[in-house]
C-alpha cells in the first residue's frame, strides 16, 4: 500500500518542492494551503492527489483536514509566516499570529497525526525550523523565537514518541530562494549568498532533498535531530 504524507503550506516555495520530491520517491502527498488555491490545485493535479484548505493555527480546521484526507504516515510541518522589524513596532495581534501559525500550527498538526502513528507503531514527523531558530536574527526576533521553539518541540517530542517507533526531526534552512525573500534587494540577496561558505542562496530543492532523506529508511536511526541546510551560513 502506498504510504501517505501531508505537507502543510505546500502550494509554493519549499513546501511545493518537498511535495514534488516526496511524490517522486513514491509517497502519496496531500497538499495543504490557506490562500494560494489555484497553485495548490495545480500542484495536486500534477501529482495526482488532493489539495485541502486548512489554517494550521485553527485546531478544528486541522482535525477536519486529517479526518478528510488522513491518516498519514508522514507529516511535514512546513506552513509558516515571517515578520521583520523592530520588536517595539510589533503589535499584539502580529505577535499572536506568528506564534499561532509557526508554533501553534506544528502543535495542532502533530497532535492530530500522532494517534494513528502510535497505533501503527511507526511514522515520521518533519518540522521546518530555520537557521534563525538556532542563532537568532536582528529584527527577526519573533520569527526566530517561533523557529527556536520548534527545535525544542522536536527534541522533546522525539523522546516522547521514540518508544512508539516514531521519528521526529527538523530541518533548519538558511537563506532559500522563495517568495519570503521578495522583500529583499539584490544587494541584500548578494550579502546572503556571500554569508554562505558555498557562495550562493539555497534552492527549495535543497531542502526537499533533505526532507526525502529524513523521511526514508536510510534515516531509520535518526531522530531528535536538527539538520542545517544553510551552506554553512555565517550569521
Active site members: 143
Q: Transcribe 158-198 into DSSP letters.
A: HHHHGGGTEEEEEEEE-SBSSGGGTTS-HHHHHHHHHTSTT
Helix axes 204-215, 13-24, angle to 10 degrees: 50
Helix H or strand E segment including 106: helix 105-120
Is residue 5 within 8 A of residue 22, CB to CB? The reply is: yes
Residue 50 backbone class (left: φ over 0; alpha: ψ -120 to 50; beta: rest)? beta
Q: How far is CA 188 from the centre of its chain?
A: 24
Can you read off the three cell numbers belonging to residue 217? 529508511
- Rounded Cα distance between 189 and 123, Å, is 37
Whole-angstrom distance, CA of residue 183 vs CA of residue 232 = 23
The answer to whether the beta carbons of residues 67 and 112 sit under 8 Å apart is: no
CA distance linking residue 207 with residue 209, whole number of Å: 5
SS3 (DSSP) at 105: helix
Amino acid at each position: 500500500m502506498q504510504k501517505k504524507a501531508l505537507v502543510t503550506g505546500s502550494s509554493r516555495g519549499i513546501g511545493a518542492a518537498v511535495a514534488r520530491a516526496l511524490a517522486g520517491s513514491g509517497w502519496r502527498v496531500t497538499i495543504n494551503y490557506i490562500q494560494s488555491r489555484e497553485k495548490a490545485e495545480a500542484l495536486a493535479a500534477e501529482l495526482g492527489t488532493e489539495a485541502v484548505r486548512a489554517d494550521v493555527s485553527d485546531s478544528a480546521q486541522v482535525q477536519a483536514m486529517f479526518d478528510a484526507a488522513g491518516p498519514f504516515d508522514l507529516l511535514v510541518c512546513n506552513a509558516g509566516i515571517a515578520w521583520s522589524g523592530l520588536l517595539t513596532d510589533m503589535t499584539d495581534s502580529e505577535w499572536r499570529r506568528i506564534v499561532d501559525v509557526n508554533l501553534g500550527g506544528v502543535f495542532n498538526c502533530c497532535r492530530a497525526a500522532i494517534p494513528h502513528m502510535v497505533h501503527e507503531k511507526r511514522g515520521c514527523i518533519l518540522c521546518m525550523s530555520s537557521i534563525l531558530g538556532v542563532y537568532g536574527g536582528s529584527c527577526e526576533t519573533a520569527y526566530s523565537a517561533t523557529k527556536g521553539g520548534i527545535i525544542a518541540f522536536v527534541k522533546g517530542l522525539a523522546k516522547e514518541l521514540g518508544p512508539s517507533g516514531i521519528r521526529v526531526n527538523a530541518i533548519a534552512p538558511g537563506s532559500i530562494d522563495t517568495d519570503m525573500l521578495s522583500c529583499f534587494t539584490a544587494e541584500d540577496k548578494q550579502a546572503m549568498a556571500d554569508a554562505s561558505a558555498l557562495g550562493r542562496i539555497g534552492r527549495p530543492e535543497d531542502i526537499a532533498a533533505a526532507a526525502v532523506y529524513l523521511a526514508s529508511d536510510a534515516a531509520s536511526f535518526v531522530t531528535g535531530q536538527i539538520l542545517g541546510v544553510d551552506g554553512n551560513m555565517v550569521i
